[in-house]
Amino acid sequence: MTRFLSRAARPLAAAFLALALEVTNLSPVAAADAGPSPIALRSATAQPAVPGVNADIQLLHHTMLGVSGRPVPATTLLLTPKGAPPAGGWPIVGWEHGTTTPGQRTCAPSQTPELDGGLTRDGFKSDYSWQISQFIDAGYAVVAPDLEGLGPDATTPYPYYSLSSLARSLVAGVVAARAAEPSLSERWAVVGHSDGGHGVLGVEALAKEATGLAFAGTVASAPYVAIEAHAARFEADAKTASDEAAAHQGLMMQQFQGALMATGLKVTQPSFDEASIMGPDLAETLPRFRSLCSVAAIGTIDAAVKAKGRAFEGLNADWGSQPQMHAFLAANDPAVMPDYTLHQPLLIVQGNADPFVLEALQTRFADRLKASGARLTYKVYDGADHFSIIRRANADVLDFLRQQFAR
């Protein structure tokens, strides 16, 4: 996908919130009211060393509260620095990966040497293991969940884009890690990239489920938000493109947004009919799309769009207004969730050359957060794209974490 993605880089209201909670039951605030998660550590197994990561690594087998409202099996990687912990224990960085798959459980960090669910293996260097090494070298333990529905123990589907599921995967992983390793501190912060960046934006509302621990703050790197707005922007790019390659790219990226959201919604709402938001060409790709890791999954849509060009029958113009989809986005996309804000310190980092999460839409979200009173630091990095943002923002991320853990 490196080669494919480098081509990509080329050139409502309170009433509706009530509907969202009724239809999806996925609001993190509403979910938090349900009580503490039934988290139980079942076992921990030693994992092989990861090149460049100077840590002891364990795979934790535990339970978490799933989107069904029942406990489900989950797995989480725990990486701790070698040597003696500092007084008070190793501070914890809960780290969440981006989109590694729409629904294939083997595309999980614990199942790949680079800790990225196959992105590097399939040709798209993620820098995830490098980022984790930076946290280890700074003296932090890293808790990296595979996420609900992903990993070797998963028995239920992956509820893609569910904010409560993403957040609870981290909360459960941190609680399980503390049960497995007494050298961990009670202080924790979260860092996520792309859809993981979206996921960490839901953690603060559920952090109290990590009983007895002190939540310190959030780092979101190119968080995947404003989904409907992204689809509309890509559609506009396709319509105004001056050449077929650019038109194809915009159309493909528009379809990709809808395919991901349809996949996530279908898991939480089996009654959802994809045909209510899309034409037959896109609908026909979904079974295979959901069975693959990200690189091949997006390639499936790319090939389908190429085969039909501008005649491709994909997302309906009003796809986001279909009641179930509209409610799903309102309950899970912080950029459109009514009254969404955070109270603990938050850092968002974004590249202005990112072809997947667009800087203009991220800046609009950041402005909305600031207006809500969020304690946000927002930084844009010139020339950084969707993955190079990890290295470009590293010093600022480490400085932010250092400040929060020092409070």
Q: What is the pLDDT of residues 387-396, one digit of tens each?
A: 999 999 999 9
Instruction: Quote the tokens at residue 66.
Output: 């799933």
pLDDT recorded at residue 68: 95
Cα gap 294→276, rounded to integer Å? 24
Cα gap 129→157, rounded to integer Å? 26
Give the pLDDT band of residue 80 (cuts 50, 70, 90): very high
Instruction: Quote the tokens at residue 71.
Output: 């406990």
Q: What value does the CA radius of gyration of the chain take, rounded to a whole number of Å?
A: 20
pLDDT recorded at residue 38: 86
* Neighbour tally for 287: CB within 10 Å: 10
Helix (H, G, I), strand (E, B) or coil at 123: coil
Q: Taking residues 346-373, what's their average pLDDT?
A: 98
Of the listed ranges 20-24, 192-196, 260-264, 276-280, the one predicted with least confidence: 20-24
- Of 368, 333, 342, 323, which is closest to residue 16 (Cα–Cα)? 323
Give the pLDDT band of residue 258 (cuts 50, 70, 90): very high
Give the pLDDT band of residue 112 (cuts 50, 70, 90): very high
Specify the CATH architecture of the domain 24-225+342-406: 3-Layer(aba) Sandwich (3.40)
Percentage above 70 pLDDT, the chain: 91
Among the residues of 119-243, which ranges form H helices?
Answer: 128-137, 163-180, 195-200, 203-206, 227-240
Q: Taking residues 221-250, what's their average pLDDT?
A: 95
- pLDDT at residue 34 greater than cutoff 70: no
Cα gap 113→358, rounded to integer Å? 30
Q: Taking residues 155-164, what's their average pLDDT?
A: 98
- pLDDT at residue 58 greater than cutoff 60: yes
Residue 36: is it exposed, middle or buried by C-beta count within 10 angstroms (0-12/13-18/19+)?
middle
Give the pLDDT band of residue 104 (cuts 50, 70, 90): very high
pLDDT recorded at residue 186: 98
pLDDT recorded at residue 123: 86
Cα gap 137→131, rounded to integer Å? 10
Q: What letter represents residue 109's amino acid? A: P
- pLDDT at residue 273 greater than cutoff 60: yes
- pLDDT at residue 26 greater than cutoff 60: no
- pLDDT at residue 2 greater than cutoff 90: no
Helix (H, G, I), strand (E, B) or coil at 196: helix
Cα gap 279→65, rounded to integer Å? 35
pLDDT recorded at residue 4: 31
Q: Taking residues 234-241, what's their average pLDDT?
A: 94
Q: What letter represents residue 81's amino acid? A: P
Cα gap 16→22, rounded to integer Å? 10
Cα gap 148→168, rounded to integer Å? 8
Q: How many residues are present in the chain? A: 407
pLDDT recorded at residue 310: 84
Of the listed ranges 1-15, 69-83, 368-382, the one predicted with least confidence: 1-15
Rounded to two decimals, the pTM is 0.90
- Domain range annotation of the chain: 24-225+342-406, 227-331
Say which residue, 27 or 217, is predicted with more confidence. Answer: 217
End-to-end alpha-carbon separation of the chain, Å?
41
Average pLDDT score over the chain: 91
